[in-house]
Structure 1
Amino acid sequence: MLDFKHRGAPLWSQFSALIPSPQRIHPLGCHRPRISDRIIFDKLIQVLILGAAYERISDATCSATTIRRRRRDEWISAGVFLQLEQLCLEAYDRIVGLDLENLSVDGCLVEASCSGEASGKSPVDRGKQGTKRSVMTDGKSILLGCVIVGANRHDSPLLRPTLERLSRFGYFLPEQITVYLDAGYDSQKTRDLLTELGRQGVISTKGEPLQTGDRWVVERTNSWHTRGFRKLAICTELKSRVLDALISLANSIIVIRRLIREAWLSHRWDSKPKRKP
């Protein structure tokens, strides 16, 4: 999915700049050499894309414990994944431009076989454990915010915390914002919320044939997540903060791929691919 010799270079360059310096250094200099951050980063990419367990990804270069506890959790605590996602979104906005005037919100149900913090009985899978992602995208399918809960939660109450993720863009929001929603949000409570937040809503009507409109862009984003990243298609993480970090990493990859693809026709750079990605 990602060629790290070319397209992955900007991602790793930015990620490595955000990694905090190691604090624990042996005073006598006889501690085992610290494993390269690049090795850990590549292992996390493999876990995210292939969906494999950490024990299966580990080898002689790096153990599963080092991947999970010593690096992944350290980077999550330092906010590296969230900062990386924010920088990718800001770069995309400067070069291509985010379509913040047209937003789409929808829920996505995935299997959660390990019954983690963000899991619940799925109403569409015979009561098995599942996770719901309330996803918000711009008009070009770029993920702007995501709320993770159990599969037994309804979409409508998740709309407020999902729309509140727009606060990450500060005062650069347009005056008029239209939110496209499916029939699951067709209620007076949703309309009152949109009025309170100063947003316009285009909501599909319950009981009528399927109405697509401009809501299809969020379905494409859900497809990018579940088809491109096996770890997001079958959730095996127990902690919500780990799942949030993996979603931020996946979104960073998607944004960079879209940025390279859309900027290929309008910009020049030294490592520009000869063919359109």
Structure 2
Amino acid sequence: MARRRPWDISDDLWAVIEPLLPRHKRRYRYPGRKRIDDRRTLQGVLFVLYTGIQWEFLPQELGFGSGPTCWRRLAEWQQAGVWDDLQQVLLDRLRAADRLDFSRAAIDASHVQAKRGRSRPKVGRSPVDRGRPGSKHHVLVDANGTLLRVSLTGAHRHDITQLLPLVDAVPHVRGRRGRPRHRPRVLYADRGYDFDIYRRRLRERNITPKIARRGHGHGSGLGRIRWVAESAIAHLHGPRRLRIRWETRDDMHDAFLQLTACMNLARRAF
């Protein structure tokens, strides 16, 4: 059996994605050129994401449409909030299948170089890369390493700035009887998140903080639990387009980031 290519979309996954996409009615008079199929266009976007190829070099013989068409469609879907809606649906499916574990969560961040758009708000001088411009990918995962939320900031932003935004952005996950879940019971983090004020903010949200203390030696044992966040980042950076930021616009790089999170959730849900 041939292995499925990462940019191929299964029928089951497309049945979930299609209702979330914006609808476009074709004009009766002067209809213009027929709109390229959304499914093929999304496959073109995924081809660019996984291979890292430039938009203008997207092979026409694959039938995905032109690179500019795929770029515009990705920008349209990002503005319409399609990826947030898709993450909600996929998380609901995972909880219905009992594949989400809110007993604990872990948070972490990773730096990526930015080759363009140095003056953008979400690009900054990286303190871990000799001041070169870069961005950060922040992730929040459950006990199984399932992505609950991801976000994008400049490399100069401290990791702690995304702690509460990520926690508060977790959607109310349904899929089972009872109250929807959106708060983990315990949150694990490394020394970069060692601020007592944020520990208090987490407790106000009924979350028990388990954060390593600065100045203490290694061997606390938190790494045996936090590794799921590092593993999630490694999978998040599997597509070549996310290993180095080439997008000038913040929203387009964030679109790739959110789309990758959706595809990682889809692999667990289907």
Q: Shorter-chain-normalised TM-score: which range?
A: 0.7 to 0.9
- After TM superposition, list the pairs within 5 Å mapping 1:212-227 onto structure 2: 212-226=223-237
Change (3 A) 1:213 1:253: same
CA RMSD of aligned residues (A): 2.4
Q: Is the CA contact 1:96–1:259 (under 8 Å) kept in the aligned structure 2?
A: no
Shift of residue 178 of structure 1?
Answer: 0.1
In structure 1, what residue type is equivalent to 2:45? Answer: L
Please say if 1:43 is aligned against 2:44.
yes
Match of 1:97 among 90, 99, 110: 99
Shift of residue 118 of structure 1?
Answer: 1.5
Alpha-carbon distance in structure 1 between the residues aligned to 2:45 and 2:140: 25
Q: Is the CA contact 1:40–1:67 (under 8 Å) kept in the aligned structure 2?
A: yes
Structure 1 partner of 2:195: 187
In structure 2, what residue type is equivalent to 1:245? Answer: A
- After TM superposition, list the pairs within 5 Å mapping 1:226-237 onto structure 2: 226=237, 228-237=238-247
Structure 1 partner of 2:24: 22
Change (3 A) 1:7 1:18: closer
Shift of residue 15 of structure 1?
Answer: 1.6
Identity of paired residues, percent? 29
Structure 2 partner of 1:108: 110
Size of the alignment, in residue pairs?
Answer: 257
Change (3 A) 1:131 1:5: closer
Q: Is the CA contact 2:150–2:258 (under 8 Å) kept in the aligned structure 1?
A: no
Unaligned runs of 5+ in 2: none
Change (3 A) 1:122 1:74: same
In structure 2, what residue type is equivalent to 1:136? Answer: L
- After TM superposition, list the pairs within 5 Å mapping 1:1-277 onto structure 2: 3=5, 8-25=10-27, 27-29=29-31, 31-59=32-60, 61=63, 62-69=65-72, 71-115=73-117, 116-169=120-173, 171-173=179-181, 177-207=185-215, 208-209=217-218, 211=220, 212-226=223-237, 228-260=238-270
Q: Which runs of 4+ in 1 moved over 4 A?
A: 4-7
Alpha-carbon distance in structure 2 between the residues aligned to 1:169 and 1:3: 29
